[in-house]
Amino acid sequence: MMPSIAIVGAGPSGCYTAQALGKALPEARIDIIDRLPVPYGLIRYGVAPDHQGTKAVTRQFERLFERSGVGFFGNVALGRDIALADLRAQYDAVVLATGLSQDRALGIEGEDLPGVIGAGRITRYWNDHPDSENDAIGLGRKAVIIGNGNVAIDLVRILAKVDGEFEGSDLGGHHLNGFRNASVESIDIIGRSPAGVAKFDPVMLRELAKLTDARIKVISAAGEGKVVEALAAIDGHDPQDAQKTITFRFGWTPARLTGEQQLQEAHFTATDGSGETLVLPCDSLLTAIGFAGSEDVPSPEASEDGFIEPGLYATGWFRRGPRGTIPENRADAQAVAARIAADLASVRSARPGRDGLAQLVPHATDYHGWQRIDAAERTDCPADRCRIKIRGRNQMLDLARQKGMQ
Ligand X SMILES: Cc1cc2nc3c(=O)[nH]c(=O)nc-3n(C[C@H](O)[C@H](O)[C@H](O)COP(=O)(O)OP(=O)(O)OC[C@H]3O[C@@H](n4cnc5c(N)ncnc54)[C@H](O)[C@@H]3O)c2cc1C
Name the site residues for ligand X (rule: CB under 6 A): 8-14, 33-36, 41-42, 46-47, 51, 54, 77-79, 97-99, 119, 123, 151, 154, 296-297, 316-318, 324-326, 329
C-alpha span between 177 and 158 (Å, rounded): 14
Nearer to ligand X, 14 or 194 (CB): 14
C-alpha span between 37 and 221 (Å, rounded): 44
Report helix, strand or coil for 391: coil
As measured in angstroms, the least distance from the Cβ of 185 to ligand X is 24
The alpha-helical segments, DSSP class H, found in 67-129 are: 84-90, 119-126
As measured in angstroms, the least distance from the Cβ of 88 to ligand X is 14
As measured in angstroms, the least distance from the Cβ of 377 to ligand X is 17
Nearer to ligand X, 41 or 115 (CB): 41
Nearer to ligand X, 51 or 226 (CB): 51
What is the distance of C-alpha 93 from the center of its chain?
A: 26
Nearer to ligand X, 257 or 361 (CB): 361
Report helix, strand or coil for 266: strand
The alpha-helical segments, DSSP class H, found in 107-239 are: 119-126, 150-160, 173-175, 202-207, 226-234
Nearer to ligand X, 50 or 110 (CB): 50
Nearer to ligand X, 268 or 317 (CB): 317
As measured in angstroms, the least distance from the Cβ of 34 to ligand X is 5
As measured in angstroms, the least distance from the Cβ of 220 to ligand X is 27
Nearer to ligand X, 47 or 251 (CB): 47
176 DSSP 8-state letter: I
What is the distance of C-alpha 149 from the center of its chain?
A: 13
| 186-191 vs 244-250, strand pairing mode | parallel
What is the distance of C-alpha 47 from the center of its chain?
A: 6
As measured in angstroms, the least distance from the Cβ of 345 to ligand X is 26
C-alpha span between 144 and 136 (Å, rounded): 18
As measured in angstroms, the least distance from the Cβ of 78 to ligand X is 4
- The helix-helix angle for 393-400 and 367-379 (nearest 10°) equals 110
C-alpha span between 254 and 262 (Å, rounded): 17
Calculate the CA dihedral of residues 106, 293, 200, 213 and round it to 10 degrees. -70
Nearer to ligand X, 46 or 110 (CB): 46
Q: 317: closest CA among 303, 309, 305, 328? A: 328
As measured in angstroms, the least distance from the Cβ of 45 to ligand X is 8
- The residue at minimum Cβ distance from ligand X is 11
Taking a C-beta distance cutoff of 8 angstroms, is the pair 169, 386 a contact?
A: yes
